[in-house]
Amino acid sequence: MWSGRRGLLRPLGCGVEELRCRRREREAALRKARREQQLVSKRLLRDEATEEAEGGCVVVILGEAEIQEFLRLAQRGIEEKERERALVSLRRGLQHPETQQIFIRLEGSIRTLVGLLTSNQALLQLEAARCLHELSHSEQSAVAEACLPATSYLLTYLSGHSSDFIELCLYTLGNLIVESEAVRRQLLPQGIVPALAACIQSPRLTVLEALGYALSQLLQAKEAPEKIIPSVLGSTLPQHILQLLQPGPKLNLGVAVEFAWCLHYIICSQVNNALLITQGALTTLGLLLLDLAAAVQRTKNAGLELLVCPVVRCLSNLLTEAAAETVGGPVHLRDERVVAALFILLQFFLQEQPSLLPEGLWLLNNLTANSPSFCTSLISLDLIEPLLHLLSVSNVSVLVLTVLCNVAEKGPAYCQHLWPGLLLPTLLDTLALSDTEVVGQSLELLQLLFLYQPGAAQAFLQQSGLQALQRHEEVAQLQDRVHALQQTALHG
């Protein structure tokens, strides 16, 4: 049963067109940031525009005197409600970046806040934690670094029992982690990895999701491969993560998404993937892939690609490890259901998220490249034609041709099944394109077909293949291969 995250796709108050427009803008900003290697940035996490649109109450900038007054009331107020209210007012003010700046520059302010955070007054503690959470949202590293005195306590509270509080601490930590390397440098010796390893045993889904978020931010840090991932791999975290990704009725989408991304950051950093394989990562991910394919057929849940994407990436990268050859699981055992699942997911991508098609085909390449078994599965499950249909999708043409080459290069028994069908007319169509890479890969495939499939060259000639080749005779990267094919076709 897939239970979605609370409010995951809850629509905002604006119109659909406005939403789409804003989403395109956000996407463009993220794309730019990624190219500049700035994707892991707080600024991008907190979508300013959304808040302005939603903003019920106007956020007021608090001045020094007001902040001091609120802090004084919180510390020494007579009535508990009064103290709490003071902190709530402070928190609201802290939503504004200018208030944050004033706050951190005020002497003793963080100390006071930390004192309230560690008090035995539960409600004050919660409000103080929320104030810290607001501060953690700042785009300024200085503000994040001002929160350094609180981190040891945030970590200590992770082994408590109050799940709302733990959740808050985790999101706060996650935000601080993103913003400042100084914070990360302190958190590691303070024991964040063991603290997370203990906390991940919580049964509460909201806690787990928050933990996954914090961990994913930690793993995305640029120094993660050297400084962070080794200790994570040395802890019990990987086993717990794999457990949380086990398919079945207890799998929660929001939680699984976070941990699948964690796993992706670990795996693509290539620190010690063999260890993950011995812990059963390939088995778990393979079974999860099957489960996801079944799920996309059942539900129209448009959130599933958020999980499919990292799972596909993890599987694909893990397959390239030497250890993948020897360990058991549906992948090693050549379970053709994996191929079936992948095609169902490719169809899902085509409908919901075409930009993810290349990643799906990358996995298909890694499955089929060195595997006669999976190549045979493509044939026995009648998947060659659907594959050919994908050729028309421009962002994956080269990949589709590569997969077809993977099949064809295994010899005559394979080429026999690629022939005749739609393959020749489709190839002739691709030869009409001007994309050099696509054409080049088509030429490779043609060579294999001419070599292994009797009658292919003949049929090619009959379908005006030579003319199709002619337009590429002058292209530098293609001409040698074009000539070679022309020779083969004419003279056998």
Partner 1 sequence: MQLPPALHARLAGAPGAAAPLPVQRDPLAGNAPFRFAARQVRFPREHEFFEDGDVQRHLYLQDVITQVAAEPERPRVPEFTCQVAGCCQVFDALEDYEHHYHTLHGNVCSYCKRAFPSGHLLDTHILEWHDSLFQILAERQDMYQCLVEGCTEKFRTSRDRKEHLVTHHLYPADFRFDKPRTRRGPASQVSTDATGEDQAASEGDAMEVCSEHAEAHPEPPRERRVYGHRIPSTICFGQGASRGFKSTKKKSKRL
CA distance 110 to 395: 51
Q: Of 293 and 428, which CB lies nearer to partner 1 in the complex structure?
A: 293
> How far apart are CB 49 and partner 1 at their closest, in Å?
10
CA distance 453 to 457: 8
Residue (of 298, 196, 300) closest to 244 by Cα position: 196
Helix axes 80-93, 64-76, angle to 10 degrees: 150
Q: Which tokens sit at 103?
A: 């706050």
Q: Of 159 and 394, which CB lies nearer to partner 1 in the complex structure?
A: 159
Q: Phi, psi (5° rounding) for residue 13?
A: -75, -15
Q: Of 339 and 428, which CB lies nearer to partner 1 in the complex structure?
A: 339
> How far apart are CB 484 and partner 1 at their closest, in Å?
6
Beta partners for 252?
A: 3
> How far apart are CB 363 and partner 1 at their closest, in Å?
10
Q: C-alpha angle with apex 143: 139 to 148, nearest 5 degrees?
A: 125
Q: Of 101 and 119, which CB lies nearer to partner 1 in the complex structure?
A: 119
Is the CB of residue 404 less than 8 Å from the CB of residue 418? yes
- 3-class secondary structure, 57: coil
Q: Of 135 and 244, which CB lies nearer to partner 1 in the complex structure?
A: 135
> How far apart are CB 337 and partner 1 at their closest, in Å?
6
> How far apart are CB 249 and partner 1 at their closest, in Å?
16
CA distance 370 to 407: 10
> How far apart are CB 255 and partner 1 at their closest, in Å?
12
> How far apart are CB 92 and partner 1 at their closest, in Å?
9
Q: Of 369 and 433, which CB lies nearer to partner 1 in the complex structure?
A: 369
- 3-class secondary structure, 252: strand
Report in angstroms the alpha-carbon separations of 269 from 120, 144, 220, 365. Answer: 42, 26, 10, 21
